[in-house]
Amino acid sequence: MVSVKRTAARMLFGSRYNKVPWGQRVYVRPGERLMREAQWRLKLRSARVMSLEEYKATVPLGEIEEFLSCMMCGDSRQQPLFEPTGGRTWRYRVVRCPSCGFLYRNPNIRPERLGDLYANSYSSFLTGKYAANRQRRYQLTMDAFAPVFEHGEGRRLLDFGCGAGLFLELAEQRGFDAVGVDLSPDSVEQANARLTKARAYFGAPEDVPEIAAGGFDVITLWSVLAHLPRPLEDFERFRHLLAPEGVLLILTVNAGSLLLKAYESGWSGFTKNHLMFYSSATLPTLLGRTGFSGVAYAPHYGDTIEAGTSQLPGPLRARLRRAVENSDGGNMMRALAFADDEAISRWGQRLRVRRL
């Protein structure tokens, strides 16, 4: 199937775009955005919609799994779309909610069995060369939502799912009074070795008195949202932990990505441990239902484009930016959620805020 697509692409575009990295090609080849969007609409029209009972009858359920209805709108109907796989090590199914368009893994992982997904080597994956790229990505995202992250003095920040502390390190450099929580004890140990003022804790926010007391000006979720099996409960908790004028920053894979429309089950956002896939069409439901007042987005053009290190010629860089904006289809979604109207007045001045 992939080779058929490659052959078709070669016939359409010749070799002109062979030097463009895979993750950028679909954004720069002329006409490809419109073609992929049409292909996507056709897929949605032709994919079957089943009742949950029908769906359960066709799909095996693993020991650590459970069947879900849509967590955003409650519709139990299922539109099976994808079966991503990681070689022989994992495979799962992704369905779309026919009412609200939410994409989620179904069957999903039972929350109490989430630990089974994470291998012991997870923390070593979060350091090394990966660390430098991650920190660049954090810097670029903070810049995109300026001035929220410019001066941290006198402001409290919680990094939920802090891993080895790569972001906490930047937060303390910017003057934030920063704490983090994570469910991997190895990562928390590494984080505390890295940090000077900021602290990382093992466990859930409610397990750590200093964090459970709330009053945070900023909460950050870096590549965490897609891992949450009970997002509504978590976001209600985040909302309570925020101080007046507080904001919540989200970076996650974008279910509206043009790369998903192009590569389908082979999309990079379908990783082993991802459970739910949000876009700017579905995130407002989660935020609105849990008491947030507004949300703003910063389109993601890719780290090399934003950092100015991309090898793409200027006209192609411009074309990529236009394709991302016109499709709302960058590969990552970056969102800033506002706890209340005061937060919108204080931090939303330079942003396009959608009220919830």
| Footprint on this chain of Zn ion (rule: CB under 5 A) | 70, 72-73, 75, 97, 99-100, 102
CB atoms within 10 A of CB 74: 10
Q: Can you tell me the distance from the alpha carbon of 327 to that of 324, in angstroms, rounded to the nearest whole number?
A: 5
Is 78 or 190 the residue whose CB approaches Zn ion more closely? Answer: 78
Is 100 or 204 the residue whose CB approaches Zn ion more closely? Answer: 100
The two structure tokens encoding residue 354: 């959608």
CA quadruple 317, 322, 324, 325: dihedral positive or negative?
A: positive
E strand residue ranges, 156-233 = 156-160, 177-182, 199-202, 216-222
Q: Kindly write down the DSSP assignment for every residue of 272-308, as one continuous string.
A: TT--EEB-TTTHHHHHHHTT--EEEE-----HHHHHT
Is 47 or 100 the residue whose CB approaches Zn ion more closely? Answer: 100
Is 276 or 335 the residue whose CB approaches Zn ion more closely? Answer: 276
The two structure tokens encoding residue 35: 């073609």
CA dist 6 → 9, 20, 260 (Å): 5, 14, 16
Q: How far is the CB of 232 from Zn ion (least distance, A)?
A: 12
Q: How far is CA 112 from the centre of its chain?
A: 22
Q: How far is the CB of 38 from Zn ion (least distance, A)?
A: 24
Q: Can you tell me the distance from the alpha carbon of 323 to that of 301, in angstroms, rounded to the nearest whole number?
A: 9
Is 76 or 127 the residue whose CB approaches Zn ion more closely? Answer: 76
Q: How far is the CB of 49 from Zn ion (least distance, A)?
A: 12
Q: How far is the CB of 142 from Zn ion (least distance, A)?
A: 32
Is 100 or 281 the residue whose CB approaches Zn ion more closely? Answer: 100
Q: How far is the CB of 71 from Zn ion (least distance, A)?
A: 8
The two structure tokens encoding residue 232: 């509504």
Strands 216-222 and 156-160: parallel
The two structure tokens encoding residue 52: 């949950």
Q: How far is the CB of 217 from Zn ion (least distance, A)?
A: 32
Is 72 or 247 the residue whose CB approaches Zn ion more closely? Answer: 72
Is 97 or 344 the residue whose CB approaches Zn ion more closely? Answer: 97
Q: How far is the CB of 257 from Zn ion (least distance, A)?
A: 19
Q: How far is the CB of 81 from Zn ion (least distance, A)?
A: 14
CA dist 88 → 82, 105, 223, 253 (Å): 17, 18, 25, 23
> CA angle 87-93-97, nearest 5°?
150
